[in-house]
Structure 1
Amino acid sequence: MKVLLTFCFAVPLLLLAAAEEEAILESILRDRSHIEDTLRLAADEKSGDYAAALQRLRKIYHSSIRPMEQAYKYNELRQHEISDGEITSKPMVLFLGPWSVGKSSMVNYLLGLQDTPYQLYTGAEPTTSEFTVIMHGEKIRTVEGIVMAADSSRSFSPLEKFGQNFLEKLVGIEMPHKLLERVTFVDTPGIIENRKQQERGYPFNDVCQWFIDRADLIFVVFDPTKLDVGLELEMLFRQLKGRESQIRIILNKADSLATQDLMRVYGALFWSLAPLINVTEPPRVYVSSFWPYDYALETSIELFKREEISLLEDLNQVIENRLENKIAFIRQHGIRVRIHALLVDRYVQTYKEQMSFFSDSEMVFKEIVDDPDKFYIFKSILAKTNVSKFDLPNRDAYRDFFGINPVNSFKQLSAQCSYMGGCLLEKIEKAITHELPALLSSINSGKNPSLSSCEATGCGEKPKNRYRRN
């Protein structure tokens, strides 16, 4: 009886001691010096050269690409209008994944917000219900989503199209931080498989797509206990299609498992994601525990540390290449605008060729839009220009595009010229083939990317128009 009583008292004491030990371990904050070293937060930047390059990029876009966008209403085809705020914005790092996998804790850890009044709220239950944008500011303050969307100097003004219900779920946090001077973090609501879009009150998938299209780095975070893939997560990976180079998969809370169990979970994660990521080279997977507290004892601590350093180097690479990525993004956008203008020009030309005095204009153009291959619209673009067939947009999109915009409301490219302003096609081609690559070369060589006098005035050259008949 005495032995039994001793055992009954000892078990609760052991459990209490284990709980106290766990609490003590959690109270020990991890050393963060490697974050500052890897991300080079103490180094000073040449802000003057960076600002000059952004100003040059903005001038190229407004003078050479935007006029073509407006003339052929490209925004109504792709629903992607580039603002000055987007051109000058910092690289965006997006956190996606199921609920309670450690996305907010990871942001707190990278920024050192733990135990401060402005740390993102975390917990075992679904806690983040808003899209939270953490950005640089002169002082710590919270910015409402309505204010963010109304400010044209920011890159978030296009979010107004998702409605007031969404803007109430958008919040910004500004704070003075060296890392936020170079990058912006976006924390998203966790994916809950049994919740439908209608229950959120706004188009959740469309909002995610908006952020995905603009993100420079996308962290998809998983918990070892939440590896099941449902319809919501499957939809998310469909939206990530084509952005595999920006995706990094994170198996978080790895120190909560023994090494052998972690290996099984790692294999199970690849097994679950394999049908969703159908590419030759899968995204990089980081295995560690990204939160402010020290690693659990008797786990693969050295492996976790190396993985964390690798992730920070990945993030630093995006920060270092932010200007090059921005130029490449504007150039890619310019190529799409040029292809769109060439296609609209071809549709207009075909329509005029098929029209006669007795023709029904609606029937003629319906036939052209329904069967563009019959009139060699897309094939002629490939034959006469240096456009890749892989860059051509979906043909069905032009049926909807011309349903809103009558074909006779567009001029042909040969008519889009003026003596003072030049030809729209010549200007956009010059930007794609010469100006943007030259700006990229000047950055890599360390030269001043400011405007030269000839670039600003054109040196008095008469505009050429190869589409005008002599």
Structure 2
Amino acid sequence: MYKEWFEVADSDNDGRVTGNNAIKFLSMSGLSRQDLKLIWAIADSKRQGYLGFKEFICCMQLVSLAQGGHEISHDILLKGDVDFENIKPPRMEGLDELIEISMDLYNDHNMMSQFGDNAGGSLKPAPITFQWFSSKPSQKFLSHVTSVQDGLKKLYNQKLKPLEVAYCFNDFVSPLLTNSDFDAKPMVMLLGQYSTGKTSFIKHLLKCRAHIGPEPTTDRFVVIMSGTDERSVPGNTIAVQADMPFTGLNTFGTAFLSKFECSQMPHHLLEHITLVDTPGVLSGEKQRTQRAYDFTGVTSWFAAKCDLILLLFDPHKLDISDEFKRVIYSLRGHDDKIRVIFNKADQVDTQQLMRLYGALMWSLGKVLNTPEVVRVYIGSFKDKPVNEDFTGPIGKELFEKEQGDLLSDLKDIPKKACDRRINEFVKRARAAKIHAYIVSHLKNEMPAFFGKASTQQRLTDNLEDEFVKEILRGYSFDRFDKLKPKMIQDVDDMLGYDIPDLLKSLRNPYD
């Protein structure tokens, strides 16, 4: 019976009874407004602003106690002097009659829907009593969701994507997400100057001699993924495949896509993660040579997609060039993903290693500009054995422990990827909301008839972000959409209710 009552009170069919619906429903109990306010506060102990099914049952039991003359207080649930399992349902005046009427209206409405066209009459909307007291089963969002990523995908397409499209979020901030972005495996990106051992690290990790990049240094972005056989796919091909999460790279042009490829091979590790090898960051005289594409922009794009970013240094390349500094600055906002590898450490003795480690931390401190010390792994990640001059007890033990810690960090990536994906999704939703408010504000500031060009120029000049200015010049502000409260409310409901319910119902598959 409580199940039927809950469906009646839940007029929005969203699995919860909100304040306005509760006022209408609880008023049939005949209790005073003050008593109902206290009962609501006790039932909504988590301060959610709504009642789920369990809280609804508790509310009904408290109403029954109040009708029986029992004193209601905030500690009634803790006293233990009330047998809640055997409390009779409360008296709700007129509820049975209204349910019966609403069922008749529901059946009549279905019959009109089936025969209205043949009868030649137009269908009228159901009356308010029917809309509120409908006993129609609620269409719950979680009933057709099989995993967390599946839930996020549906939430994005139903609630967040319409907001992004309406306010051109994809032109200003980030391209629209596709299904492949949600289904993609976690990614690890390696960054560093040339010949610091990025490609050798990947080969050491995979224990294979697969062709990843031209020797002695990789001159392109290479994505290493799982595949049925070993093969290399050109960048222009991989960027147009809808089942791959790289369609957003088309914005960087053919100059970049000619320096991008995908290397596929069968490997058990690649079934869980994807590796991204990058060209060596230029330094000294070489960095004056302009690349044919936006190298920093590409690394920033991959950083947003990746779950771990490895910065590689070696004893002979501790300096941070201007290009490397720009690359590290582009990683802002992803500080929790960054790890540092001090590679080829067996090429120096123990005393030199201590000094070089200190120099590396000093250089990183000036660039990363964070109070926390970044995690640095020391080792020699290559297929060849460690230098015999550094195989003493201290060096060998140090290398083994550091390598073990790094491998543990890599093994945890699939488990952490689920939480990180939710985190990135929430960040994107909030950014889309802010963007919608800004764009709608620009729309509201535009005059109705005269002075549009001068007003748009004034508004654009007051924006601090130069990149956004360049994009805005291609738009006419008066053609922007006004703020749509319904879209904003959908995103708020998604953040406040849908995502918490999703995490409560479906666990991380790696837990």
2:443–2:479 Cα contact (<8 Å) kept? no
Partner-residue secondary structure (3-state), 1:163: helix
1:219 alignment partner, one of 298, 305, 310: 310
State the number of aligned residues. 362
Identity %: 32
Q: Provide the residue aligned with 1:173 in structure 2.
A: 263
* 1:265 aligned onto 2:356: yes
Q: Which residue of 2 aligns with 1:410?
A: 480
2:385 — aligned with what?
A: 294
Write the mapping of 1:26-425 to structure 2, written as runs, cut at 5 A.
Answer: 52-113=147-208, 116=209, 118-120=210-212, 126-193=216-283, 194-196=285-287, 199-297=290-388, 298-299=391-392, 300-351=395-446, 355=447, 359-371=450-462, 399-414=469-484, 423-425=486-488
- Secondary structure in structure 2 of the residue aligned to 1:321: helix
What is the rounded CA distance, in whole Å, between the counterparts of 2:506 and 2:337 in structure 1?
22
Q: Deviations over 1:292-329 (max 9, x none)?
A: 33333334111111111111121222221212211221
Helix, strand or coil: the match of 2:229?
A: coil
Contact 2:147/2:506 (<8 A) preserved:
no
Give 1:445 shift. 7.6
Q: Per the alignment, do residues 167 and 51 of structure 1 end up closer, same or farther by CA in structure 2, a change over 3 Å counting?
A: farther
Cα distance in 1, alignment partners of residues 462 and 508 from structure 2? 49
Cα distance in 2, alignment partners of residues 435 and 289 from structure 1: 46
Equivalent residues of 1:324, 1:440 under 8 A apart: no
Partner in structure 1 of residue 53 of structure 2 = none
- Residues 10-38 of structure 1 show CA distances to partners (whole Å, capped at 9, x for unaligned) of xxxxxxxxxxxxxxxxxxxxxxxxxxxxx
2: CA distance, partners of 1:78 / 1:445: 29
Describe the shift of the 1:91–1:362 C-alpha distance in structure 2 as closer, same or farther (beyond 3 A): same
Looking at structure 2, the residues matched to 169 and 51 of structure 1 have their Cα atoms a distance apart, in angstroms, of 38
- Measured after TM superposition, the shift of residue 140 of structure 1 is 1.9
Structure 2 vs 1, CA of residues 62 and 198 (structure 1 numbering), >3 Å: closer, same or farther?
farther
* Runs of 4+, deviation exceeding 6 Å: none
CA distance in 1, matches of 2:459, 2:508: 49
Q: CA deviation at 1:397?
A: 5.6
Mapped to 2, the partners of 1:171 and 1:146 lie a distance apart of: 8
Question: Structure 1 residues 313, 73: closer, same or farther in 2, change over 3 A?
Answer: same
Secondary structure in structure 1 of the residue aligned to 2:309: strand
Q: What is the CA-CA distance between 1:401 and the residue it aligns to?
A: 4.5
Q: Distance in 1 between matches of 2:188 and 2:508?
A: 27
Quick check: 1:192–1:232 contact (8 Å CA) kept in 2?
Answer: yes
Determine if contact 2:189/2:310 at 8 Å carries over to the other structure.
yes
Q: Give 3-state SS (helix, strand or coil) of 2:286's partner.
A: coil
Asked if the contact 1:327–1:440 (Cα under 8 Å) also holds between the matched residues in 2, the reply is: no
Asked if the contact 1:209/1:239 (under 8 Å) is kept, the reply is yes
Distance 2:399 2:501 in 1: 42
- Counterparts of 1:160 and 1:398 in 2: how far apart (Å)? 20
Kept in 2: contact 1:105–1:120 (CA 8 A): no
Q: Distance in 1 between matches of 2:399 and 2:218?
A: 26
Offset of 1:270 from its aligned partner? 1.5
- Residue 364 of structure 1 and its aligned partner are, at CA, apart by 3.4
Shift, 1:197, TM fit: 7.3
How far the C-alpha of 1:291 sits from its partner, in A, is 1.6
Q: Is the 8 A contact 1:94 1:219 kept in 2?
A: yes
**1:349 Cα shift?**
2.7
> Larger relative contact order (C-alpha < 8 A, sep ≥ 6)?
1
Query: 2:489 maps to what in 1?
Result: 426
Aligned partner letter, 2:222: T
Following TM superposition, by how much is the alpha carbon of 1:335 offset from its aligned partner in structure 2, in angstroms? 0.8
Q: Deviations over 1:322-369 (max 9, x none)?
A: 122112211111111011112222232333xxx477x42323343444
Contact 2:189 2:276 in 1 (8 A): yes
TM-score normalised by length of structure 1? 0.71
Gaps of 5+ in 1: 1-48, 373-393, 417-422, 448-470
Q: Structure 1 residues 304 and 446 mapped into 2: Cα distance closer, same or farther (>3 Å)?
A: closer
Contact 1:108 1:119 in 2 (8 A): no
State the Cα distance separating 1:287 from its structure 2 match. 0.5
Quote how far apart the aligned CAs of 1:50 are.
Answer: 10
Structure 2, unpaired ranges of 5+: 1-143
Secondary structure class of the residue paired with 2:147: helix
Compared with structure 1, are the counterparts of its residues 350 and 88 closer, same or farther at alpha carbon in structure 2 (3 Å cutoff)? Answer: same
- TM-score w.r.t. the length of structure 2 is 0.66
Counterpart AA for 2:476: P
Q: Are residues 197 and 324 of structure 1, via their aligned partners in 2, closer, same or farther at CA, if it must alter by over 3 Å?
A: farther
Partner SS, residue 171 of structure 1: strand
Offset of 1:122 from its aligned partner? 7.6
Q: What is the match of residue 29 of structure 1?
A: none
Using the TM superposition, give the Cα deviation of residue 55 of structure 1 relative to its aligned residue in structure 2, in angstroms.
1.9
Residues 327 and 265 of structure 1: CA distance in aligned 2, closer, same or farther (over 3 Å) = same
- Whether the 8 Å contact between 2:213 and 2:220 is mirrored in structure 1 is no
Residues 391-421 of structure 1 deviation map (CA, whole Å, 9 limit, x = unaligned): xxx565654444222122123224x7xxxxx
Q: Secondary structure at the match of 2:243?
A: coil
Structure showing greater radius of gyration is 2
Tell me the CA shift for residue 236 of structure 1: 1.7
Q: Distance in 1 between matches of 2:508 and 2:442?
A: 43
In the aligned structure 1, how far is the partner of 2:472 from the partner of 2:206? Answer: 48
* Higher mean C-alpha deviation, range 433-442 or range 150-159: 433-442
> Counterparts of 1:284 and 1:437 in 2: how far apart (Å)?
32
Distance, in Å, in 2 between the alignment partners of 1:52 and 1:111 is: 29
- Work out the CA distance in 1 between the residues paired with 2:323 and 2:452: 45
